[in-house]
Amino acid sequence: MSRAFVVREYGGPEQLKLENVEVGAPGPGQLKLRNKAIGLNFVDVYQRTGLYKTPLPFTAGNEGAGEVIAVGPDVTGFQVGDRVAYQGPVGAYADERLLPADKAVHLPEGISYEVAAAALLKGATAFYLLHWTHELKAGETILVHAAAGGTGQILVQWAKAIGARVIGTAGSDEKCEIVRQCGADLAINYKTGDFVAGVKEFTGGKGVDVVYDGVGQATFEPSLDCLRPRGLMVSFGNASGPVSMPRLGILADKGSLYVTRPTGAGYFRTAEDIRTAADALFNMIELGRIKVAIDQTRPLAEAVAAQQALEARATTGSTLLLP
């Protein structure tokens, strides 16, 4: 038997129910893992609330790292004892789980379970945002919202490694200091300052080439005013609530802007896709160009409190649940 947080109804954090479940043997194309570390992400919240419709019931969680303890039929490239990480398939908030083998990536010797579980989903997101959604180039200027969060910190560091100029926003002076330590050229406390005015001043009135916004409703429309003509708005999250366009013509009014709403599911459609992103991320970590901040750790049994803290925007960097 394995402990697992099961969601049987959409709703608040109280819908995360700790149960004992029978995991069973892996089927064709599956691995059985013993989790060593589990990542906490906003997508976990979106699935629990029903914003992202996930068939009920399901075991929560989308990211983790662990040891292969059984290999199903027709699986190649993995064996018992392998160290692996994954992002994407629900089922992470558990001691043990079954995982499609094509969703697993091998861990290099220099990457710990904890770093992998803290970084893979967030780092893979940063990879596709900076390389596939828009191929960021040296000299371009970007705005990153929630830049002190787990994805935000990786975005800032990776964009600086590419050679971009980076403006980051955060919700406190302490978080802004974290953003500066990640290499941002400018950090703006959006609770005490006008980030649109700050962007305009920093760019000499030109605006940024790209906005990366994982906050959603609270920042979407003001962010359009931060873009240069024909700039790109990348809305990749809904931490403050879902975004709705008031009217399509607003993009014309503000300079023939582009908007996209990417998701990991849309970009990581094959095993090669996620392994490409993971290889790039792990290489950047091993080179020291990306440092992964694990700022909160909790026992797996405290998953409810961990999600509550995440929703309250009371965390920085990455949070781990430890079985």
CATH code at position 88:
3.90.180.10
274 located within any domain: no
pLDDT above 70 covers a percentage of the chain that reads: 99
Whether residue 35 contacts residue 85, with contact meaning beta carbons closer than 8 Å, is answered with: no
Q: Are 107 and 158 in a shared domain?
A: no
Average pLDDT, the chain: 95
Of 40, 89, 95, which Cα lies nearest the Cα of 69?
95
The answer to whether the beta carbons of residues 319 and 153 sit under 8 Å apart is no
Range of the domain at 234: 138-261
Q: Of 213, 228, 261, which residue sits at a domain end?
A: 261
Look at residue 128 and tell me if it is in a domain: no
Same domain, 34 and 65: yes
pLDDT tens-digit series, residues 224-264: 999 999 999 999 987 667 777 778 999 999 999 999 999 99
Total of domains in the chain: 2
- Asked whether residue 254 falls in the same domain as residue 288, the answer is no
- 48 and 99: one domain? yes
Lowest mean pLDDT among 78-87, 103-112, 210-219, 306-315: 210-219
Shared domain for 163 and 247, answered yes or no, is yes
- Asked if 87 and 38 sit in the same domain, the reply is yes
> What's residue 313's pLDDT?
86
pLDDT at residue 300 is higher than 90 = yes
**Structure token digits, residue 123:** 């780092």
Strands (E), the chain: 2-7, 16-21, 30-39, 58-59, 63-71, 83-87, 96-100, 104-106, 141-144, 165-170, 186-189, 208-213, 227-235, 258-260, 294-299, 318-322
- Lowest mean pLDDT: which of 110-114, 238-242, 269-273? 238-242
Domain assignment present for 125: no
What's the pLDDT at 217? 77
Reported as a single tens digit per residue, the pLDDT across 79-99 is: 999 999 999 899 999 999 999
Comparison of pLDDT for 20 and 243, the residue scoring more: 20
Which whole number is the average pLDDT over 309-313? 92
CA angle 231, 278, 235 (to 5 degrees): 25
Statement: residue 296 has pLDDT above 70: yes
Q: Per-residue pLDDT averaged across 110-130, rounded?
A: 97
Of 210, 232, 261, the position where a domain reaches its end is 261
Direct distance between the N- and C-terminal alpha carbons of the chain, in angstroms, rounded to an integer: 14
- What are 88's two structure tokens? 């994407």
**pLDDT above 80 (res 267):** yes
- Are 175 and 250 part of one and the same domain? yes
CA distances from 52 to 10, 90, 100, 132, 237 (A): 10, 12, 21, 23, 11
* Alpha-carbon distances, residue 82 vs 61, 102, 191, 211, 244 (angstroms): 21, 14, 46, 39, 44
* Residue 167 and residue 256 in one domain: yes
Q: Is residue 266 part of a domain?
A: no
**Residue 269 domain flag:** no
Quickly list DSSP for 141-162. EEEESSTTBHHHHHHHHHHHHH
Asked if residue 174 and residue 100 are part of one domain, the reply reads no
Q: What pTM, to 2 d.p., does this model score? A: 0.92
Q: Does residue 163 surpass a pLDDT of 80?
A: yes
pLDDT at 240: 65
Which pLDDT does position 106 carry in this prediction? 98
Residues 143, 255, single domain; the answer is: yes
Percent of the chain with pLDDT over 90: 92
How many residues appear in the chain?
323
Paired residues of 70 in beta bridges: 32
Q: Tokens in use for 280?
A: 């790039």
Same domain, 53 and 79: yes
Strand ordering across the sheet containing 186-189: 186-189, 165-170, 141-144, 208-213, 227-235, 258-260
**What is the 3-state secondary structure of 61-81?**
CCEEEEEEEEECCCCCCCCCC
Asked if residues 301 and 95 have their Cβ atoms less than 8 Å apart, the reply is no
Q: Kindly state whether residue 131 falls inside one of the protein's structural domains.
A: no
Lowest model confidence (mean pLDDT) among 128-137, 192-201, 233-242: 233-242
CA angle 171, 90, 77 (to 5 degrees): 115
Residues 113 and 34 in one domain: yes
State which amino acid sits at residue 23: V
Taking residue 41's Cβ as centre, other Cβ atoms within 10 Å add up to: 25
